Amino acid sequence: MSRAVLSIGSNLGDPLENLRSVVDALGDRLVAVSGVYATAPWGGVEQQDFLNATLIVDDPELDCHGWLRLGQELEAAADRVREQRWGPRSLDVDVVDCDGLVSADPELTLPHPRAHERAFVLVPWLEIDPDATLTVKGARMPARELLGCLDATERDGVRRTDLLLVRP
């Protein structure tokens, strides 16, 4: 069995429906679903804001690479095109953490190499797991502490919306 933390984001097409498509596809694998957050784009590419959320998922049939493949399948179903690094996208599904494993595998680096620098990952993750931890430079650290190390403008740029991913 593997438990993973997935970060999902979208800013093309219908971003809310793109995020909901992930929740719908995961079904009973979902352990927790954060709220939806509006966030400024990361990486310096001019584009509209993203909708982001974090999910905790669990499935006895999937290992960490299985979560990666499933995320890629969900991206493909949302017509994800990889044209520009940090550019706009219909759907982004990142495996942030999987069973606390650390891996330098170029196909799936764990934990996600920049998760500790991204408030749009940490804020929604802490909403659904206040005790979340992440390995950074070989040390397991509280996500709350990592968030506190980020610039205030980065943290303040993650704004909770009233949108819901789980359909009423």
| Band of pLDDT at residue 88, cut at 50, 70 and 90 | confident
**Active-site annotation holder among 94, 114, 118, 162:** 94
Instruction: State the chain's mean pLDDT as an integer.
Output: 92
Tokens of 160: 């909770």
Q: Active-site residue 89, yes or no?
A: yes
In this structure, what token pair is assigned to residue 151? 């610039």
For residues 110-130, give the mean pLDDT.
96
144 is catalytic: no
Q: Which of 31-35, 81-85, 163-167 has the highest mean pLDDT?
A: 31-35
Q: Where are the beta strands (DSSP E) in the chain?
A: 2-10, 30-33, 37-39, 50-59, 92-98, 133-136, 139-142, 158-160
- Residue 44: what pLDDT? 66
Annotated catalytic residue 140 = no
Q: What is the pTM for the complete model shown?
A: 0.93
Angle at 135 between CA 72 and CA 161, to 5 degrees: 60
Catalytic residue among 20, 29, 80, 118: 80
Q: Which one is predicted more confidently, 120 or 45?
A: 120
Catalytic residue list contains 80: yes
- The catalytically annotated residue of 29, 92, 97, 118 is 92
Q: How far apart are CA 111 and CA 36, in angstroms?
A: 22
